[in-house]
Structure 1
Amino acid sequence: MSTMRLATWNVNSIRARVDRVTDWLERADVDVLAMQETKCSDDQFPTMPFAALGYDVVHCGFNQWNGVAIASRVGIDDVEVGFAGQPSWSDKPEAEAVAEARALGATCNGVRVWSLYIPNGRTVDSPHYLYKLKWLAALRETAATWLADDPSAQIALVGDWNIAPTDEDVWSVEAYQGSTHVTVPERSAFDAIVETGFSDLVRPYTPGPAVFTYWDYTQLRFPKNRGMRIDFILGSPSLAQRVERAEIARDERKTGKDRVGSPSDHAPVVVTLTG
């Protein structure tokens, strides 16, 4: 029986961490890696180190902000930049709003993979917070049509969701009181996508509190395990049936002589699919 290993990782600048990422790819035996926050334009993406390992790469990046990519060694077809209805954004009232580099889809070995970098929201009273909720609502609506059109479709919605769906997904509920990522509207928006038929493929294999995917660089957050679970792989029903195991590669957040380069503030999240 064949297997396929699918991963997602907010790399926090691919140019700064390409050696770190490709070193892990080689060790982890990953077939498809969705990346977020690449922080570069398409022509700046370092494709050659991936090609040397046998990966094809597609990337969506317009400037030094945001950016999403997919690297695959099992094929990469039907590439799509952005999803239908994806909202636009502008930080400046005088500038025209545009769709940011936050969503990239491709079919890899029969699985439709979407690398997603959901807007942060910044603060609850920021226009960016409303943009985040609008973005999630549009994703839910479009993703629901994908399943309605083909209930047997194998679809993975993966990436940095910038939402901790439950209190267990943060190290301290009190520490995030009044902050984004944990508000009822954000959690409801996440749940709405799950309710369309997409399930969290990783949580059943990584149970319990204090199991995180992100730790801020400041205040010794990682050594103290003061993190958040905000990176997810959500799968359609037919894809969920194929999951053999899943893991959060927490060690890749570590620093030290046995690690290549400096770490991202996120850890990779991986599922192994069978069949």
Structure 2
Amino acid sequence: MRFATWNVNSVRQRLGLVTDWLSRNSPDLLLLQEIKCETAQFPAGAFQEAGYDSVVVGQKSYNGVAILSRVPATLRHRHLPGLEAPEGGEHHARYVEIEAGGIVFGNLYLPNGNSGGADGYQAKLRWMDALIAHARDMLASDTDFVLAGDYNVAPTDEDFATGALSADDALVRPETRERFRALQWLGLTDAVRAVTPRGPVYTFWDYQAGCWPRDRGLRIDHAMLSPRVAERLLSAVPDRMERDKPQPSDHVPVVVTLAD
């Protein structure tokens, strides 16, 4: 099985890029974040023509997640268990979960935490606490799962270029990193770092300050695997050349291959 996670930063604006990438790579699942459209406006027809069914949790202009699947899939959740599903705010349109091929796939777009002052950062931490609790519950029920998406977390200093983030950025603050480590301490495997333990492996380059040509990137898109899924891991790599396409997203797909 092969799946990918990709913050597309507006699915309608990047539709051509996404369908082209699907035609060249043919993953079983593609987890999309920041689709920036309401569910009814999602271009499901174009993806169906490419051979993919869509499960969408949209929001006008902001956030939004979707899963494209060319294998049978069953919807489990349209929001993160443990959090209410309000009509707006930090938690809206940030999580969708399916089961496919005997594995639960949670697709997440975690709050950035840099906007909204102290309240905005606390919302990020509450979201992460709920994610940890959900992972713990799935482990307790002996569920095989993947939690993948835009975490808005750079777990270590190796996960961002020198000078790309300040020490007080919400992506690297101690409380943020503590919660990411808590997922790992539950027994989850960071797929990319399992394959490439050291060195720069970026998934995001800001549009500003020449970050792409200067390779001033961040690794903030992750695929966290439960133990039995991790045993099947063959590869996990960002498709970084997508960042060099015309009018690209500022993120690139992270592609994970599992043994059958």
Tell me which residue corresponds to 1:145. 137
> 5 Å matches for 1:148-163?
148-150=140-142, 153-163=143-153
Are positions 1:43 and 2:40 aligned together? yes
Match for residue 198 of structure 1 among 180, 188, 212: 188
5+ residue gaps, structure 1:
91-95, 257-261
Structure 1's 83 and 247: CA in aligned 2 closer, same or farther, altered over 3 A? same
One-letter code of the match for 2:248?
A: P
5+ residue gaps, structure 2:
none
| Cα shift at 1:124 | 8.9
| Cα shift at 1:106 | 0.5
The CA deviation string for residues 81-116 of structure 1, in whole angstroms up to 9 with x for no partner, is 0122125679xxxxx868400010001222211110
2:14·2:249 contact (CA, 8 Å) conserved in 1? yes
Tell me which residue corresponds to 2:120. 128
> 5 Å matches for 1:82-231?
82-86=79-83, 99-122=91-114, 125-150=117-142, 153-172=143-162, 175-231=165-221
2:203·2:252 contact (CA, 8 Å) conserved in 1? yes
Tell me which residue corresponds to 1:93. none
2:79·2:85 contact (CA, 8 Å) conserved in 1? no
| Cα shift at 1:29 | 2.2
Structure 1's 174 and 157: CA in aligned 2 closer, same or farther, altered over 3 A? closer
Between the aligned partners of 1:83 and 1:207, the Cα distance in structure 2 is 29
Are positions 1:250 and 2:235 aligned together? no
Between the aligned partners of 1:226 and 1:97, the Cα distance in structure 2 is 30
Are positions 1:270 and 2:260 aligned together? no
Between the aligned partners of 2:11 and 2:227, the Cα distance in structure 1 is 32
**TM-score normalized by structure 1?**
0.89
> 5 Å matches for 1:12-91?
12-86=9-83
Q: Secondary structure at the match of 2:97?
A: strand
Between the aligned partners of 1:209 and 1:97, the Cα distance in structure 2 is 36
Structure 1's 97 and 170: CA in aligned 2 closer, same or farther, altered over 3 A? closer
One-letter code of the match for 1:140?
A: I
**TM-score normalized by structure 2?**
0.94
Match for residue 10 of structure 1 among 7, 11, 15: 7
The CA deviation string for residues 226-274 of structure 1, in whole angstroms up to 9 with x for no partner, is 0100000001001101111121100011135xxxxx2100010011111
Count of matched residue positions in the alignment of Structure 1 and Structure 2: 260
Between the aligned partners of 2:228 and 2:82, the Cα distance in structure 1 is 25
Between the aligned partners of 2:79 and 2:67, the Cα distance in structure 1 is 13
Overall identity of the aligned pairs, in %: 42
Structure 1's 195 and 87: CA in aligned 2 closer, same or farther, altered over 3 A? farther
Between the aligned partners of 1:209 and 1:110, the Cα distance in structure 2 is 33
1:39·1:67 contact (CA, 8 Å) conserved in 2? yes
The CA deviation string for residues 48-78 of structure 1, in whole angstroms up to 9 with x for no partner, is 1211111111000132110000001011113
1:106·1:113 contact (CA, 8 Å) conserved in 2? yes
| Cα shift at 1:204 | 2.3
Structure 1's 98 and 10: CA in aligned 2 closer, same or farther, altered over 3 A? closer
Q: Secondary structure at the match of 1:126?
A: helix
Between the aligned partners of 1:10 and 1:174, the Cα distance in structure 2 is 19
